[in-house]
Amino acid sequence: MRFLPGTMIGQSRGEFAAAVSFSLVIHVLVISAGLFLSLYVRPRVYIPPSYQVKLVDQPAEIPLVPPSMSAPPSAALRAPKQKHPPPSKAARAKPAPAPRPAAVPKQAMPELAAEKPKKELAAAEPDAQTEAPAKKQEAVSVSTGSPEFQFPPYVAIVRDKVERNWNPPPGAKGASVKVVFRILRSGRVGEARLAESSGNFYFDQAAMRAILSSSPFPALPEGFFKDSEVFSVDLMEKD
């Protein structure tokens, strides 16, 4: 609203221009900050570690729960107690000891005399059934590179996964190879190399393929403080 040309009510021309300029600068800064945050700043997403669990069957030698334990304890508590009559004076008297049987001479029962030499002969002979069978040599053997890694279940998981992917070529009788590889915190294989070659090119390539095909392994245990761990695996021909 103007009363005179070039003048405004409550504000001069210079103050109005300064206010508009300041508002424009503020809007430009706010829009620039929003574009910068949307393009360069991204929220961090936490991915929880995952573990692979192998279920096994219950051993056959574990006995089942006895029938006496299957009954609820409340049934035994509710059962009424049976009252027995007090024993009589005749029952309280101590019974006479039974007479000892007469000794039987060895000549009357010759089978008893022959039983002792049989037992001695059986004890002297080696029992083939009690001998422990020879330990079967495993085709895959895994070990760690540092003594700080005290997690046998994780080593067993690594060995089982490598064994599933281990397919040696035929015709390599008695061949063996050692591969050293590094597992990162995420479970992926960082590097792998041949530590001891078998002398057979195809056997060595099958060993490297077994390690790389097993990646990724489960993430390293949370109790292990390092970012990676070195493992060595010995691979031999399967029986």
Q: Name the residue ranges covered by the structural domains of the chain.
A: 140-236
pTM: 0.43
Taking 80 as the threshold, does the pLDDT of residue 169 lie above it?
yes
Look up residue 49 and give its two tokens: 């570690």
Query: What confidence tier does 1 reach under pLDDT thresholds 50, 70, 90?
Result: very low
Residue with tokens 């007469």: 102
pLDDT bucket at 214, cuts 50 / 70 / 90: very high
Going by pLDDT thresholds of 50, 70 and 90, the confidence category of residue 132 is very low
CA angle 173, 174, 177 (to 5 degrees): 115
Q: Is 6 left (phi over 0), alpha (psi -120 to 50) or beta?
A: left
Prior bond to 5 cis, omega within 30? no
**Domain 140-236 sits in CATH 3.30.1150.10:** yes
Give the residues across from 176 on adjacent strands: 236
pLDDT at 100: 66
Q: How far does the chain reach from its first CA to its final CA, in angstroms?
A: 102
Task: Find the mean pLDDT for residues 173-194.
Answer: 91
User: Residue 170: its pLDDT value, please?
Assistant: 84
Q: What is residue 185's DSSP assignment?
A: T
| Residue written as token pair 């021309």 | 13
Helix (H) or strand (E) holding 24: helix 13-40
Q: What is the pLDDT of residues 84-101, one digit of tens each?
A: 666 565 556 555 566 665
Task: Identify whether the C-beta of residue 144 lies closer than 8 Å to the C-beta of residue 190.
Answer: no
> Which of 138, 122, 105, 144 is CA-nearest to residue 231?
144
Quick one: pLDDT at residue 90? 53
For residues 155, 190, 166, 217, the Cα torsion angle rounded to the nearest 10 degrees is: 50
Element (H, E) at 60: none
For residue 170, the 8-state DSSP code is T
